[in-house]
A and B are shown apart, each in its own frame.
Chain A
Amino acid sequence: EAGVVQSPRYKIIEKKQPVAFWCNPISGHNTLYWYRQNLGQGPELLIRYENEEAVDDSQLPKDRFSAERLKGVDSTLKIQPAELGDSAVYLCASSSRHRTTNNEQFFGPGTRLTVL
């Protein structure tokens, strides 16, 4: 079974530029998460989807961040415009309540964003 796929793995942009990250969760996983992980810290939830519905986006900076999961499968996270403080690793994870009993999340390798 393929794991969570993310692209690109690395992205370097100048401040004020837009950037987009893509995630393909494990097949059949209805819940998808986007996290931001700053250096030396744990992941912080940005947004959580149940199928195509964003059920928790309270931590998403909506002035510059947006996300979509139109068909309830893959998802895109966008930042426009990027700021220096957005440099971090952006992690995507997925889970399925129907396949596990412990709400385990499966993580992708992340996209490392550097804003210059």
Chain B
Amino acid sequence: GEDVEQSLFLSVREGDSSVINCTYTDSSSTYLYWYKQEPGAGLQLLTYIFSNMDMKQDQRLTVLLNKKDKHLSLRIADTQTGDSAIYFCAAGFEGNAGKSTFGDGTTLTVKP
């Protein structure tokens, strides 16, 4: 089955850019998602990209997809302390009605 991997920790200074990386194994993944989880809360979708795209920008967020290498990244520009959270990469499939496989999350710490 699908395997999704992420680095576990990232620490940046406020105002810098953050880049969180993710790799997945199933090239038939149709949707690639980034979810954010704050302490004591469930996951919240931040952004997503279809597999036929290579980039998507949404305000401070930029998602890059290298389908050949099965590599996904999330760049957060001008990182703020409120961005401190756990970020999960997930891969989903068109034909499987929303079933997604999640990575183990990257804990982003933003230092003032």
| A-to-B contact residues, CB < 8 Å | 4, 31, 33, 40-45, 48, 50, 55-56, 91, 93, 95, 97, 102-110
Which residues on B sit within 8 Å (CB–CB) of A91?
A: 42-43
Q: With contacts defined as CB atoms under 8 Å apart, how many contacts are there between chain A and chain B in the complex? A: 61
B42 touches A42 (CB 8 A): no
| B58 → chain A closest CB, angstroms | 13
B98 touches A97 (CB 8 A): yes
**Chain B, 61-103, CB within 8 A of any chain A CB:** 88, 90, 92, 97-100, 102-103
B104 touches A42 (CB 8 A): yes
Contact A109:B41 (CB < 8 A) given known A97-B97, A103-B92? yes
A56 touches B102 (CB 8 A): no
Give Cα A44–Cα B104 distance, bound, in whole angstroms.
10
A31 touches B98 (CB 8 A): yes
Is B44's CB within 8 Å of the partner chain A? yes
A43 touches B98 (CB 8 A): no
